[in-house]
Amino acid sequence: MSQPAVEVIGAKKLRSTLRKAGADMKDLTAVHREVGGIVAGAARPTTPRRSGRLASTVRAGATQTAAITRAGYARVPYAQPIHWGWPRRGIRAQPWLTLAAQSTEPTWFARYEAGIESILAKIQGA
């Protein structure tokens, strides 16, 4: 399953350094969840609609290493073809999730910056 991705250059080294410094990586998971929520919030109103079912499946998730914004479930399996398109079936791409991530980049980037600074302050204060 192919998903749009935003790569933070140096994130692996940052996580490694923070882990060595004893930082609680769950703090970074919380930042990732907030970032995913920012993108999901911007994506919901721009989701292509017929019945509204697809828009109701847009949600944020997070791990220690990534912010995730997803759409679709087993009962709403058409999120990927709608987002990426399916030329053989005459479905044109409508990349609303990608566009939401791009349009909110200044907001979520600032949140990452604040989150990392907060973690670093805890390390320096320890």
What pLDDT is attached to residue 94?
95
What pLDDT is attached to residue 116?
84
Range of the domain at 77: 22-125
- What is the number of structural domains in the chain? 1
Low-confidence residues of the chain: pLDDT under 50: 1
1 domain-assigned: no
What pLDDT is attached to residue 3?
62
96 domain-assigned: yes
d(CA 84, CA 105): 20
What pLDDT is attached to residue 25?
64
Q: What SS3 class is residue 13?
A: helix
What pLDDT is attached to residue 64?
84
Q: 114: which residues sit within 8 A by CB, 6+ positions away?
A: none
